[in-house]
Structure 1
Amino acid sequence: MMSFTETSQLLQKELMNDYSYRVDGIPPMNDSQYDFNHVQSGPPPSAYMQRTAAAGGRASAMPQSRGGFGRTETARPMTSNRAAGYTAAGKTGGSKVFDPLNQGDKGSKPLEKKTELSAEEKLREMEKEIHRLVEESAITRERGNLREALEKGKEAGKKERQLCRLREQQNLLDQLNVDLTYAVCLNLAIQHQANDNDNEALTIYTQIVKNKQYPFSGRFRVNMGNIYFKQEKWTAAIKMYRMALDQIPNNVQAIRFKIMRNIGHAFFKMHQFPDAIDSYENLLMHGAQHLDFMTGFNLILCYYALGDKDKMKSGFLKLLNIEQVGLEDFDEEEEIELGQTEQQKQESATRNLTEGDDALREDIKRRQREAARFIVNAANLIAPVIEKTEVAGYDWVIDSLNHHGFPRIGSELEISKSCFFLRRKEFDQAIQVLKKFERKEPSLMACAATNLSFLYFLEAEHANAEKYADIAVKADRYNARALVNKGNCMFMNDEFERAKEVYLEAIGVSADCLEAIYNLGLVNMHIGKYQEALLAFDKLHSITHVNCEVMWQLGDIHEKLGNHPKAHEWFSLLVTSPKGRSTDPGVLARLANLFNKAGDETQAFHYHLESYRYWPVDMNVITWLGIYYVKQEMYEAAIPFFSRASQIEPNEVKWRLMVASCYRRMGAYPAALKLYEDIHKSHPNDIECVRYLITICKEMKQKYDHYAAHLRKLERLQEAQNGRPMATGQSQGLDDSPRDEGRMGGGFGGSRGHFDQDEDEPPPPPEPPRPPMELYEAEADLPQKAAPKRRLAAPKATDDDDDWGNDDLGDVLPPM
């Protein structure tokens, strides 16, 4: 053991050496000779190394951390650079963890879950649930499911009231969430308004605007005004708009101008045009940036209602000066498209089809369409009235459009100008205007060519109509109206199959082209394909719902197919529908014919009489009514109908003969004789008239020899001309009726050649010719006494061989 003196000497030696000793026997090395790639980390040497060597104490082997640089007998022991009690190896490595108090064996208890939430936590969870319901309600409304959105809004309101009651019960009123109540009430009011529950929405809005705790609650008077506006309570709407306007600060100009615009709309609806003009002009005082196209159009309408031509012009110019985002690129894009070749246009169209337009571009296109629509409507409205002549007005409007950068709309007004000429039957000027478009852009040229084709078609110039239809189709293959015009030309040329193909192509281009569908049904009827025609008109009826022409064609097709009950259903619908034609004589006559075929003579008589009341010149209806009264032996009632028929067809002697026969049947022999004599004077060669003159003279005990001589002369002349005996009059007998006579109007559906004969039934066999009746036979068959004037019951069978014999009535009456 070293003494104190030796220890102090050793320490002084270490201080003097400054730990910079050199091991004997090893030459010094510089840094360039040392290989640092194989150096292992180890503790730095300390003074204890030399102390042990000098003292001759316990030898400690020096680890070979320096690659054999030190001697084992003089090296100091390695010291630890880690804290006591810890090691890099875990428990899995087998080493013992430093735990002097053995606390690791006891373990720790897991965290215990709360068995019950506190009152405040429950209320917080309810608030989260209410927030979630309000958000879901708003999202559902945006998706279009209004009923479900309202239910979620009601559920949120119910839970919010429950939350308020719980806070009140637990004395937590200071924690009431006013903003949450405000959001719930506002959402519920909006959902009621969206579902047209106006009274509920107004009640909630009233509660919101009266509560001063809600921020900006006064703005919702605009919503209340919108509800009153929808209910057409214009005064209440204006009141709410003005109250909302008072609560909007002046720095929020956009909202204030919109409210002022709504006030102008309400005054416009009330026809208070001066007040509406004041509201609209207040917007113009602050610049045109707050004026939209609807407001500008309404301002022009107000000027138009007051008849102020100068203001209409200025209002139209203000409408053209409205600045709209995206409108400045409208004509530029069209110019770019016009400068492209066909291949470039196809490539551009393909690229647009694959890529599509973004939401911003779609919105700009929508605004462009709305702006163009308002400008075109305003121009068409004021053009005929702003100048002394309509043509001058159209010229001023077109010049203004071209000057303000709307050349395309100006071209559309040119087409409207041509339509104005068409309405005035000035076809030459209309053609002159439309022909100017032959050298313009393809879209306008196609529109003008379509109108020219239709115009020439109306003038029956089918060659020119087909020429311009081909031009329109060539300019725009997907122009459905041009295809319809082309099909119409083929239809008039009796090319029904080709016309059908063109109509089908037009329907393929535009599935809702009503003209193409209607004409397709007509062409199918002409070629006898009634089932295909029925399909076309059924589709058209599903689109138009109540269209008189379509319902007429459906009834006509069913009647041709022999389905009389279905035809009766369509014609009845045409008469009884609110938008139908209850006074159309053609429809009433068709219904009467269907009732007659069904054996209901009473209903047939009713509808024939109604048809005669609205159109008293239809020969088929007049004939049926006259024969009906004759069958009922009501001769006095039949006389007006036969007299009307004689006025309509004055060259037909048979109608006057029927009137004379009615007089003779009634027993009014003087009137009958006078009428026969008048007929004989106007038609001296009518054999039937001469025969009846002989008969009535015998009944009245008057001379008839000269009539008998004239009758024999007429019979010999007839035998010489025809080689066989037959009547030479315009009718074979008095009881013959006008058959195969065309109907003279009476309905939009046209006329039928045979009113009383079904087209599907074969014609009746012709009757054998009767030999001329001798005078003595006529005399033998004369009735001995006059028939009663009026008789409703059917008469008994008699041997009267008069001109109203039962055998001959079948030629006049419709088949039973």
Structure 2
Amino acid sequence: AKEILKTFEKKDSKMKSAAATNLSFIYFQEKDFDQADKYADLAMSADHYNSAALTNKGNTVFVKQDYEKAAEFYKEALRNDSLCTESLHNLGLAYKRLNHLEESLDCFLKLHAILKNSDQVMYQLADIYELMGDRQQAIKWLMQVICVTPTDPHVLARLGKLHNDEGDKSQALQYYTESFRLFPCKIDVIEWLGVHYIESQFFEKATQYFERATLIQPTQVKWQLIVASCYRKSGNYQKALETYKGIHRKFPENVDCLRVLVRLSTDMDLKEVQEYATKLKKAEKMKEIREQKVKSGQGNTAGGRREGSGGSADSNHSSGSNRGERLSAKMRSLTVSNEPYEADSQKELDASYMDPLGPQIERPKTSAMKRVDDDDDFGDEELGDDLLPE
């Protein structure tokens, strides 16, 4: 198509401008912005009143983030053709990027008058109203989008977010649930639903959503920890223990997981408690070493900048290399050694764990019968004659 269009470059100005406009559009779609800019200029030089060419030129400037200049080209295109919807749409976008929300709103309202059923225009209006802080108007326009495209999961999720921000949890739940049904892979939707059911104390329901999150992001340990915590909250300690063990196999250095394993093993009187306690010490020590390594690396970088040309580069490299070798050797000894790990300091093992779901709800305490003390207030004292009945 490009080769055919290039054959029109030697034709009359109108035909040449039209061909160059189409070439500019094609190159823009291919993200070859330099060629798109070149042919937009060619189209404009052949016919300066070509609104499509001016729009293309504005687009090439827009991608360079020069929004003010892009807006000028769009306005020029609209002066030549007041019904050029592409220019009006892009002018609204340029104003929005410049944070000129009133002007952007005016553009999209005019565009809506031309394109009554355009879901893109209505969505932009909703977005602008939300940026302006008018959530009710944003909801109104998104509802119109839903009338046109009722199965758009992203619009439904946006409605859920707006209702949640307005404090209407029931409506938010409805839209988030419908969004999840249509597209069960959107992490922020899954997270909101999971947290909602945790707050409502429906841990089994929350588990279903966070298990979905673990499938979508299997390398994110936080989802798996939350799933395990949900099992704990629901009282399924055996399942929780199995889940934590599975997490430990996948993420053997995760300190939070090991802390819970130590806690559960202690509470359930399991023989693995010492094994997990030893692993926890190792993991904490390795974490501490990594943090020290990062800090020392930052310190060396800052020190090198401060020292400038003073001191020998070779000596600095040598000392840094020696420290790195000692650190690597120590880390290797931690990971390879089969001997029980002993911490350098005598600090007590930190098996505390901050549950991501918050503290567990205490069971209501039953009333206990007070022990009746058989001893009377007189003890072993003898009663005097004056206290005896006559």
Q: Same fold (TM over 0.5)?
A: yes
| TM-score between both structures, scaled by the size of structure 2 | 0.75
Determine which of 210, 213, 229 is the counterpart of 1:645. 213
Deviation per residue, 1:618-657 (Å, 9 max, x gap): 1100000011111111111111211111111111011111
Q: Does 1:625 align with 2:178?
A: no
SS in 2 for 1:455: helix
Matches within 5 A, 1:343-362: none
**Cα gap change, 1:802 to 1:474, in 2 (>3 Å):** closer
Question: 2:34 maps to which residue?
Answer: 463
Question: 1:534 maps to which residue?
Answer: 105
Deviation per residue, 1:365-409 (Å, 9 max, x gap): xxxxxxxxxxxxxxxxxxxxxxxxxxxxxxxxxxxxxxxxxxxxx
Determine which of 135, 154, 157 is the counterpart of 1:586. 154
Hey, which of these two has a bigger chunk of helix by percent?
Answer: 2
Aligned partner letter, 1:700 = M
Larger radius of gyration: 1
Unaligned runs of 5+ in 1: 1-429, 725-771, 779-800, 808-816
Question: 1:570 maps to which residue?
Answer: 141
- 1:626 and 1:583 map into 2 onto residues whose CA distance is 22
**Cα gap change, 1:773 to 1:437, in 2 (>3 Å):** farther
The Cα shift of 1:773 comes to 9.9
Determine which of 498, 511, 515 is the counterpart of 2:69. 498
Unaligned runs of 5+ in 2: 294-346, 361-390
Aligned partner letter, 1:633 = Q
Aligned partner letter, 1:804 = L
Q: 8 Å contact 1:669–1:700 — kept in the other structure? A: no
**Cα gap change, 1:644 to 1:711, in 2 (>3 Å):** same
- 2:104 and 2:163 map into 1 onto residues whose CA distance is 25
Q: Does 1:636 align with 2:204?
A: yes
Question: 1:708 maps to which residue?
Answer: 277
Q: Does 1:803 align with 2:372?
A: no
**Cα gap change, 1:648 to 1:680, in 2 (>3 Å):** same
Determine which of 441, 454, 458 is the counterpart of 2:12. 441
**Cα gap change, 1:435 to 1:506, in 2 (>3 Å):** same
Q: Percent identity?
A: 41
Q: Does 1:519 align with 2:98?
A: no
Question: 2:315 maps to which residue?
Answer: none
Deviation per residue, 1:718-740 (Å, 9 max, x gap): 2233259xxxxxxxxxxxxxxxx
Deviation per residue, 1:412-436 (Å, 9 max, x gap): xxxxxxxxxxxxxxxxxx1111111
Question: 2:22 maps to which residue?
Answer: 451
Deviation per residue, 1:3-42 (Å, 9 max, x gap): xxxxxxxxxxxxxxxxxxxxxxxxxxxxxxxxxxxxxxxx
- 1:549 and 1:777 map into 2 onto residues whose CA distance is 51
**Cα gap change, 1:444 to 1:777, in 2 (>3 Å):** closer
**Cα gap change, 1:722 to 1:775, in 2 (>3 Å):** closer
Aligned partner letter, 1:523 = A
Determine which of 273, 277, 288 is the counterpart of 1:719. 288
Matches within 5 A, 1:28-39: none
- 1:484 and 1:777 map into 2 onto residues whose CA distance is 62
Aligned partner letter, 2:2 = I
SS in 2 for 1:450: helix
Question: 2:230 maps to which residue?
Answer: 662
SS in 2 for 1:489: helix
- 2:259 and 2:192 map into 1 onto residues whose CA distance is 26
- Corresponding residue pairs, total: 306
- 1:682 and 1:455 map into 2 onto residues whose CA distance is 48
SS in 1 for 2:53: helix
Q: Does 1:679 align with 2:250?
A: no
- 2:93 and 2:282 map into 1 onto residues whose CA distance is 54
- 2:181 and 2:287 map into 1 onto residues whose CA distance is 42
Runs of 4+ in 1 over 3 A off after TM superposition: 772-778
SS in 1 for 2:357: coil
- 2:282 and 2:217 map into 1 onto residues whose CA distance is 28
**Cα gap change, 1:684 to 1:475, in 2 (>3 Å):** same
The Cα shift of 1:504 comes to 0.2
Question: 1:595 maps to which residue?
Answer: 163
The Cα shift of 1:444 comes to 1.5
Deviation per residue, 1:751-797 (Å, 9 max, x gap): xxxxxxxxxxxxxxxxxxxxx9955766xxxxxxxxxxxxxxxxxxx
Question: 2:115 maps to which residue?
Answer: 544
- 1:774 and 1:642 map into 2 onto residues whose CA distance is 30
Q: 8 Å contact 2:126–2:139 — kept in the other structure? A: yes
